[in-house]
């Protein structure tokens, strides 16, 4: 289960970092870019965790499960975004390479989000 979660998290990171990098290259800046990339990554990880990691695709209402997923992920989300914002403020040069603070924030929040996901997807 943990290896699946790490794989899904890696895919979510690539989605987040890829979209964020494209948005910043297009001139949106690291904050607006993250406001767009982060929700896309959350939906991606929800779907992959639901169908692959926790194999709950046939159980429970997916809409309700998604709402619970968002609620449970709130702590990890806030931690991830706080680290991202703090690092951008501390190292302004990373504004042009926002994937660096994104990666650090993602790693810091990973344990919390894993524990929350185990609760949401248990049968």
More confident residue, 123 or 117: 117
Pair of tokens at residue 58: 């046939």
CA nearest neighbour of 113 among 31, 54, 32, 29? 54
Tens of pLDDT, residues 41-88: 999 988 998 888 777 555 678 888 888 888 877 888 899 999 999 999
Q: How many domains does the chain have?
A: 1
Tell me the mean pLDDT in the region 6-15. 92
Question: Which residues form the domain of 52?
Answer: 2-121
Query: What local confidence, expressed as pLDDT, does residue 56 receive?
Result: 58
Does the structure show a pLDDT above 90 at 103?
Answer: yes
Residues 20, 22: Cα–Cα separation, whole Å: 5
CA nearest neighbour of 39 among 79, 70, 82? 70
- For 110, other C-beta atoms within 10 Å of its C-beta total 17
Does the structure show a pLDDT above 70 at 123?
Answer: no
Q: What is the pTM of this model?
A: 0.81
Pair of tokens at residue 31: 């904050």
């Amino acid at each position: 289960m943990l290896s699946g979660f790490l794989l899904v998290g890696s895919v979510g990171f690539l989605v987040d970092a890829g979209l964020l990098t494209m948005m910043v290259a297009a001139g949106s800046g690291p904050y607006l870019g993250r406001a767009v990339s982060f929700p896309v990554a959350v939906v991606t990880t929800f779907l992959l965790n639901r169908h692959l990691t926790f194999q709950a695709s046939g159980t429970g209402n997916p809409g309700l499960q998604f709402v619970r997923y968002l609620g449970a992920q709130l702590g990890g989300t806030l931690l991830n975004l706080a680290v991202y914002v703090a690092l951008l403020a501390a190292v302004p040069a990373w504004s042009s390479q926002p994937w660096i603070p994104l990666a650090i924030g993602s790693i810091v929040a990973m344990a919390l989000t894993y524990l929350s996901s185990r609760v949401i997807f248990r049968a």
